[in-house]
Structure formats: structure tokens, C-alpha cells
Amino acid sequence: MPVYTQIKIQTVAEQFCNSIALPSGLDRVCAVAFEDNAPSWRNDQLWQAADSTLHYLIDRHRHHLAQVKGTAECIKGLLSSIDNVLDRLCCESCSQCTAPCCLVADVSYDFRDLLIIQLTDLAMPTGQPRRSAGEVCRYLGPAGCLIPRFQRPWICTWYICPVQKKILAGHHEISSDHLLPVIADIGKLRKQVESLFIDTIAS
């Protein structure tokens, strides 16, 4: 998470920790929810804390979050528009991979992931994909990922590996014409969602 964003989030968390309107029990939640753990919220307590805090902040500011929610919904729509081509790309590449990402990569949810999931009223995932280094992603099933694309960490979607880039470059049916610009657009919109949200709850 960028340092500027982290500082703003901590400021907001502290602000709410000091608020007399804070529901009982959330003071400790705020304190741990935005700690600088990398990757963040790996144990169940911290995960629940991040979830509860975001839920609280979104509910408290719900009348001022229409634009943020609209942008989050737009991201969901864009993700939907590339879901099929990404699945086809994966079918062409991942089954023959010697070091599949879902087994070896240390992927994790970041603040933007959790925020967008909550703003679009999706169910929160159970926790970070890995609780400790060396674990396989908990969302990996026998036939691939068990959760919908909207609920996966963004890195699971934006990362196009060299093998896949090669396929995209030479494949006529799986085109990058729509895919790559949409991935770039989603990246920009995710930053917008985060900054709009933080500015709204901090104002």
C-alpha cells in the first residue's frame, strides 16, 4: 500500500478510535485493522478486524458514497467483461504450467480489494489466500479457483505471465485488444475508489 494512503488510513482509523460514536469493541478493531503487516491481515483476528472496520466506515458514510460505489460497480462490470477471455487464456496455459501461480505465488488481498468487495455488497472471502508462507492458496480447488473473479485478489487477474503474453501475441481467437486496456482501466479505477473513499470518510 502506498505510504501516503497508509498514513491517511491510519489517520482515519485513529479518528474513529477516538470517536465517542464508535460502537463498543471497534476501538481495538480499528487499531489492528490497518496495521502495516505485509501482507496484511493474515490471521483470523486481523482479517475480522479489517472486515468489521470497513463495514462500519461504509455504513457510517453510506449517504456520501454514491460516487465511490458507482465506480466500484463499474469495476465489477469491467471484470465481468474480461472473465471469459481470461478463463480461456488460463485453459490454454495453466494446465501445462510447471509452477502454477495458485500453488507457488504469495498472493494476498490488499486494501483496495477488500474495499471494492464491500462496496459492491459481495460476501467477504474467508481470509487471506495464505495464512503463512509456504501454504497453497486456500481457494484452489481440484478444478481451479473456487471463488468468482470479483472476489479474488486483483493480482490474480492483472498478472499475465510471459507464457500467456506469448499466447495473446500469436492467438487469433483470444485477443488482447479488449483485455489489456480493460486491465489498465480497472487499475486506474481501483486507485480512484481508494482515494475517493478515504477523502470522503476523512472529510
**Residues contributing to the site for ligand SF4 (CB under 6 A):** 93-94, 97, 100-102, 107, 129, 137, 139-140, 145, 152-153, 156, 161, 163-164
Query: Which of these, 193, 196, 202, lies nearest to 19 by C-alpha position?
Result: 202
Between 161 and 180, CB nearer to ligand SF4? 161
Maximal CA-CA distance, the chain: 60
Between CA 99 and CA 121 the distance in angstroms is 34
Task: Report in angstroms how near the CB of residue 69 gets to ligand SF4 at its nearest.
Answer: 24
Task: Report in angstroms how near the CB of residue 166 gets to ligand SF4 at its nearest.
Answer: 10
Give 172-200 as a 3 state SS string: CCCCHHHHHHHHHHHHHHHHHHHHHHHHH
Do the beta carbons of residue 187 and residue 179 sit within 8 Å?
no
Between 53 and 164, CB nearer to ligand SF4? 164
Between 9 and 183, CB nearer to ligand SF4? 183
Query: Which of these, 196, 190, 72, 50, lies nearest to 122 by C-alpha position?
Result: 72
Between 20 and 99, CB nearer to ligand SF4? 99
Task: Report in angstroms how near the CB of residue 146 gets to ligand SF4 at its nearest.
Answer: 7
Task: Report in angstroms how near the CB of residue 154 gets to ligand SF4 at its nearest.
Answer: 10
Between 12 and 129, CB nearer to ligand SF4? 129
Element (H, E) at 140: strand 140-141
Task: Report in angstroms how near the CB of residue 190 gets to ligand SF4 at its nearest.
Answer: 16
